Amino acid sequence: MPDAPPRLEPFTPRTEPAALDDLRARLRATRWPDAPEEAGWSLGTDLAYLRELVAYWADGFDWPAQEAALARLPRFRARIGGLGIHFVHARAAAPAGPVLPLVLSHGWPDSFWRYTKVIPLLTDPGAHGADPADAFDVVVPDIPGYGYSDRPTGPPLDSIAVAGLWAELMSVLGYSRFGAAGGDLGSHVTRYLGLDHPGRVVAVHRTDAGLPVFTGDPADLTPEERAWFERVAAWGAAEGAYAAMHRTKPQTAAFGLTDSPAGLAAWIVEKLRAWSDCDGDVERRFTKDEILTNVTLYWLTGTIGSSMRMYHANAAIPPAQHARRVEVPSGFSLFQGDVVRPPRAWLERTTNVVYVAEPARGGHFAPFEEPELYAEELRAFFRPYRAAAG
C-alpha cells in the first residue's frame, strides 16, 4: 500500500511556568562584562542597552500574552522528509479572483516571526485598503532547526534540501503550483525552489541576492558588479565575524548562547539593529516586546545552535550550484536600508529578472519593519502570475 500522506496537526504551544521561572532567574543572575567608556555599539552590543533590555525581559515582558497573540495564527505541524515541520497556513479571505499560494521563507536570526505582521495583509488585502483580487494563500514554515520545527539530529540541512522540503509541503497542502518569496537564508531557499522545481514555481521574489559567488573570469564582470564585490568584501571584513563563526565553529558559540539568555539576546539584537533601517536606534523599528518575542522563541525552543549550523551546511554547497541561473520569472525588492544591495547587472546575470523595485524605507527585515510596503511589493510582482497557478 502507498504511504499515507502526512497528517496536519493543529499546533498551539503552551510554555510551562517553570520554564519562564528558570529564564527569569538566569536573567537576574547575569554576569555582566565590562566595556570601555563610550564604546556604545562600536564593539558589538551596547552594554547599557542590553542591561535595560534584560531588566525588562526579567520583570516586564509578558511572554504568555505574546504566545497567545502568535496562537491566533493558523499554525500546524506535519512530518515532512522525516522531520516535524511547523508552519503557518493562512488561507485567503473573501478572494475576488484566482488565489495564488505563496510560500515565504525566513532567515537568521528569526523564524516564522519575520512574517507575522504581513500575513493578514496578504490573505485579506481588501480589509487593508488593497484589491481583494490580490489575496494569497500564505504558507510560512520554520526551517528545520529554527522555531518550532524539529532540529535535525544528523548533518544540518542546506538551502537546497530545505527547498525540497517546501516543495513537498506545498504538495501535501494541495498546491501543485505556487509562488515563492524570501530574504536572507530564505532568499537562498527561494532561489533553489525556482532552480529545482521550475514546473511547480510560477515566479520567485527575493529581497536580496545573497552574498555573491562567481566562478567565472572577473574581467567579464561589469564595473558596477566589481564595485559591488568590493563593497561586499568590505562589509564582510567589518561585519562578517558572526557568519565566519556560524560557518566554521557554530557548536562552540552554541554552548554560551544556549546557556545564557543575556548572551543570546546580545547575539540577536545586535543584528536587528545593524541590519534594519533604524539609524542606529533599534527601537525605531522593533519594540522591546517584538525583540524579545523573537529572542524568547529561540530561547524556549533551544534552537540557536541548530540555526547557526545551517551556515555550515550552506558553506559546503558546490560552486556549480551557485553558478546556475534562475530561469523562472524573478523579482527583487531591494529595500534602501538593507545590507549589500546588488546592482541590476548582477540580477540579470544570475536570474531571469523581470521586476526590480527599490522601496525607500525598510531594511533586512522588511516584512517586519515595513509590512505594508512589503505586501505591496508582493502584490505588484505576483499579479501577472496568478492565473498560472490556477
Residues annotated as part of the active site? 184, 311, 364
Give the type of residue at 120: P
Contact 159, 314 (CB under 8 A): yes
Strand-pairing partners, residue 10, are 76
Omega of the bond prior to 109 within 30 degrees of 0, cis? yes
Separation of alpha carbons 304 and 258, rounded Å: 7
| Nearest-5° Cα angle at 12, 9 to 18 | 130
Contact 278, 252 (CB under 8 A): no
Q: Give which of 143, 135, 137 is closest to 112, Cα–Cα.
A: 143
Separation of alpha carbons 330 and 324, rounded Å: 14
Q: Which residues contact 320 (CB under 8 A, 6 or more apart)?
A: 215
Q: Is 82 left (phi over 0), alpha (psi -120 to 50) or beta?
A: left
Separation of alpha carbons 61 and 338, rounded Å: 29
DSSP helix/strand/coil, 2: coil
DSSP 209-259: --S----S-GGGS-HHHHHHHHHHHHHHHHH-HHHHHHHH-HHHHHHHHHH
Separation of alpha carbons 99 and 268, rounded Å: 36
Grid coordinates belonging to 366 = 522588511
Contact 330, 204 (CB under 8 A): yes
Separation of alpha carbons 253 and 257, rounded Å: 6
- DSSP H helical ranges for 60-128: 63-70, 119-123
